[in-house]
Structure 1
């Protein structure tokens, strides 16, 4: 429970804690291809954030990235975790950036952070049409009319050309979205896009000044936050540790889990 809201979380394995933070509009299922391989090495922890997956999706709630960071910290506290690593994706990247900023401003608990495709810099984030429509005054209507067909169309444009999602994967994504009537809150969840510019300077400063080891593993073919985002990261972050996965789109952990695992374990082995 977080306040009055019931949240779903999972943990497996042993060793140093690794917090997995999912993206929009799906949930912790996004990590399922990596779950067992990572659990063989680490204590893996993941939750469906508020408004996502199998967690509560309260109507009329003012969802925020800062609250989602509160939720991650509350989960770690509940599990007795004091120090931890982070692997994040998409929306989860912004939550991770907030955790990084808090870590720098308070008691140091982060041991490393790895970002997959996400809007680390608002100036390089290229939202798809669905996101733009959800942000518009008719966003609530767009959410209500959202369908598996429309989801599949959007996903086909953001996955790599040779790594398109299977029907089974699309079914799983759709289940995450429709559970607890998720389409009814999508127009509220999407407001994270307006939060990113507000916190941009603090978050970028945290990445520039932190002593926490950072790596970006990015699907280069992603139209939202692909190679162009990594180029900006290299401009702003000294000694940038980045890996580009050619031909891979916005969901590298689903499209190319073996590559993501290899590059993530390489990152961790170097620490």
Structure 2
């Protein structure tokens, strides 16, 4: 897994970045699960193997840090994820959110609409 340090939260978010030449897809998991546990099987599907698949563990989930003073709101997650997609220089990418991840994906798309091609 890779790591992205979130300055404002003094915490590290972990993520998987599976290579591919086609349009990148960023996966945001829902409450009670983690991208590292639930989405590698999705990224391995034949239909997605040509895509770069980036699977995050939100703060508080999976292998990411669980900072006690982070607010864990939709907008707080979207804020550090906007910094994350900028740091990865992502453009024209697909944003996939499930359950709580869907609400975070909507907020994130609003923060970086010039970078997002599609929201699922």
Normalising by structure 2, we get a TM-score of: 0.82
Q: Residue 24 of structure 2 aligns with which residue?
A: 17
Residue deviations 1:120-169 (CA, integer Å, cap 9, x gap): xxxxxxxxxxxxxxxxxxxxxxxxxxxxxxxxxxxxxxxxxxxxxxxxxx
Q: Residue 42 of structure 2 aligns with which residue?
A: 34
Q: Residue 63 of structure 2 aligns with which residue?
A: 54
The change in CA–CA distance for 1:109 and 1:53 in structure 2 (over 3 A counts) is same
Count of aligned residue pairs for this structure pair:
111
| Alignment partner of 1:113 is 2:108 | no
* Cα distance in structure 1, aligned partners of 2:110 and 2:69: 28
1:65 to 54, 71, 74: 74
Work out which structure has the larger RCO, using CA pairs closer than 8 Å and 6 or more positions apart in sequence.
2
* Cα distance in structure 1, aligned partners of 2:69 and 2:89: 32
The change in CA–CA distance for 1:62 and 1:99 in structure 2 (over 3 A counts) is closer
Q: Secondary structure at the match of 1:8?
A: strand
* Cα distance in structure 2, aligned partners of 1:77 and 1:60: 24
Q: Residue 2 of structure 1 aligns with which residue?
A: 6
* Cα distance in structure 2, aligned partners of 1:36 and 1:13: 11
The change in CA–CA distance for 1:36 and 1:59 in structure 2 (over 3 A counts) is same
Residue deviations 1:64-107 (CA, integer Å, cap 9, x gap): 1112112222221222212211111011010011123334xxx5
State the structure with more CA Rg. Answer: 1
Cα RMSD after superposing both structures: 1.7
Instruction: Identify, as 1 or 2, the structure richer in strand.
Output: 2
Instruction: Verify the 8 A CA contact 2:95 2:105 in the aligned structure 1.
Output: yes
* Cα distance in structure 2, aligned partners of 1:62 and 1:73: 16
Q: Secondary structure at the match of 2:27?
A: strand
How far apart are residue 50 of structure 1 and its match? 0.9
Instruction: Identify, as 1 or 2, the structure richer in helix.
Output: 1
How far apart are residue 48 of structure 1 and its match? 0.6
The change in CA–CA distance for 1:96 and 1:50 in structure 2 (over 3 A counts) is same
Normalising by structure 1, we get a TM-score of: 0.38
Instruction: Verify the 8 A CA contact 1:12 1:39 in the aligned structure 2.
Output: no
